[in-house]
A and B are shown apart, each in its own frame.
Chain A
Amino acid sequence: EAQVTQNPRYLITVTGKKLTVTCSQNMNHEYMSWYRQDPGLGLRQIYYSMNVEVTDKGDVPEGYKVSRKEKRNFPLILESPSPNQTSLYFCASSLSLGGGRAGPYNEQFFGPGTRLTVL
C-alpha cells in the first residue's frame, strides 16, 4: 500500500531533550516536506527536500533540522526542543514532474501526524 509513515505518533518530552521524528514513504517520491499545524495558524512548512541531499528552509525552520540521505526517509530533528514547538507535525511527499523539475507539482501524500508535547 502506498503510504507515508511517521513515528512516533505521540510524544511527550521535556525541554532540551533531543528527539527525532521519522518519516518514510514507499512511493519513490522525490519531494518530501515537513509541516507543523497549530490552532489559528494553519499548516506551515518547516523544511522541504526536492531530492536526496537537497534540503531547503520553509517558512518556520528555526529550531529544527532535517536530513535526506536516502530517497525514502526524511527525519525531523529537534536538537533542543522548547515548549513553543508543541504542535501537530505532518510529513508529506510528492512525485515531481520529471525532466529535472522537482517540486510539489502533483498531489502531496501526508502522513498520519505526530502530536508532540514539550513540557
Chain B
Amino acid sequence: SQKIEQNSEALNIQEGKTATLTCNYTNYSPAYLQWYRQDPGRGPVFLLLIRENEKEKRKERLKVTFDTTLKQSLFHITASQPADSATYLCALVPLWGNTPLVFGKGTRLSVIA
C-alpha cells in the first residue's frame, strides 16, 4: 500500500539556521507534491507546490526539491524565525484526480530564539 513518511515528528533548531524537513514516499507515483503549514487547532495553509518534472521551487525563504528517483522531497526554511514554528505537512497529489490524496503525518518545527 502507498506510504508517505516525514522524517521526524519534531525538529528543534536555532533561530537564523536553515530547517530541512524530509518527505519520503513508496508505492505511489505523484504528479505533484504540496507542502502545507498548520498551526495548532487551525486548518492547513498551502505553501508550495512542485510538479514531478520540476527539481526545485522557491518562494521567499522557502525552497522545495523533488527527486522522483529517490522518491523524496526536501523542504527548506532559510534564516528561520520563531514565527516559523508550526507543523509542516507534505501531500502527494495523484496523476489523476479520481485517486485519493495522501498526507504525511507532519513534522513539528520549533525555532528557538
List chain A positions with a Cβ less than 8 A from chain B.
4, 31, 33, 35, 40-45, 48, 50, 56-59, 90, 92, 96, 101-113
Contacts and interface: CB of A to CB of B under 8 A. Distances in A.
14 contacts: A4-B43, A35-B103, A42-B106, A43-B103, A43-B106, A44-B103, A45-B102, A58-B101, A92-B43, A108-B44, A108-B46, A108-B91, A113-B42, A113-B43
Interface residues of B, number: 25
A48 B97 CA distance: 10
Contacts of B41: 113
Given A105-B32, A110-B44, A31 B97 contact: yes
B49 A50 contact: no
A103 B43 contact: no
